[in-house]
Structure 1
């Protein structure tokens, strides 16, 4: 089953109150409202797109090792995915799907890196629980996400829901009080620093299948031959 179908199936089960979350029905209205407001704001339209130059960055992984985009691009094209956090089941399913596609990406000469605003401890949990073999980097405060045009602030009513119903206090999980997140996004950046592929969706429950990245990487590989 492709990733979009897996995510849709999970959402149907979650909104029906199924396990393991057994969520009460009333929580869905504020979650849907927040997503609709983010869509209506056209925030995704302001994010970087294919043809734009990608900003350079240097971020630490869970062990504190710094990863510079310049060093990653020196090895080949960079697949960059922005990830909300280990608390988000949709994001975890996304990471797992990317891990499955990792051998194909590497065969095409690409590096894969995820970026999340969460603390190093939560990043270690992400790596462990999702069994990923690629770095997850900590973008505390979403500074790099801001430069890609992805950073947004959760509305007050959603902050209250996360903190008091889901017991997910992002000020603790992310180690800073801004209550910001990145819109989920995937980028393919060529070795020239130009974005060759961009996918940004303000609806965090929807993600394309990683197979979409492969033709882009094949074109970049052919251009280097």
Structure 2
């Protein structure tokens, strides 16, 4: 089953309020409203695209070790996945799909990292929960996400909903800003050029890992 098929199946059960979710229709409508407004804002069109230069970054892994994009690019192409956090089931399914595709990436000399604003303790949970073997990096205040054009601020009504659901992003991320990255996937060539970019303001939509393979093969060839 494709990644998107799995996401669609989860979404159907979640929005239908099936156990164990039991989510009232009002919550679903609020989430849909926020997604529709983010799409309409055109934020995704302002994110970095294929052909742009990727900003260099150094972020810490869950153990506090710095991971440099420049060092990874010195070894070959780099896949970067921006995700919201371990609290997001769509993100977890995407991370699992990327883990399954990791051998294919590595066969082309590519590295893979995932970036979220969550605190290291929650990144460690991401690693455990999804059985990951690639680095999960903490992007405090979404600064790197902002450099890629992905950071956005949650509207007040969505903040209120998150609070009612006990989804306390400031505590989860160690940051009071109530910001998140739009989910995004990039393939970056060793010279820093973005070869593939997929940014979606609808967090329930994610590209398939294999969609990146042509760009990775092109990068490996150069």
- Residue segments in structure 1 that go unaligned for 5+ positions in a row: none
Aligned length: 222
Q: Distance in 2 between matches of 1:41 and 1:26?
A: 23
Structure 1 residue 104 corresponds to structure 2 residue 97: no
Q: TM-score, normalised by structure 1?
A: 0.97
Aligned to 2:139: 139
Q: Distance in 1 between matches of 2:139 and 2:18?
A: 33
Aligned to 2:194: 195
Aligned to 1:20: 20
Q: TM-score, normalised by structure 2?
A: 0.99
Q: Distance in 2 between matches of 1:169 and 1:58?
A: 26
User: What does residue range 71-86 of structure 1 map to in structure 2 within 5 Å?
Assistant: 71-86=71-86
User: What does residue range 10-159 of structure 1 map to in structure 2 within 5 Å?
Assistant: 10-159=10-159
Q: Distance in 1 between matches of 2:27 and 2:203?
A: 16
Q: Distance in 1 between matches of 2:210 and 2:57?
A: 26
- Residue segments in structure 2 that go unaligned for 5+ positions in a row: none
Aligned-residue RMSD, C-alpha: 0.7
Q: Distance in 1 between matches of 2:47 and 2:56?
A: 15
Partner secondary structure for residue 67 of structure 2: strand
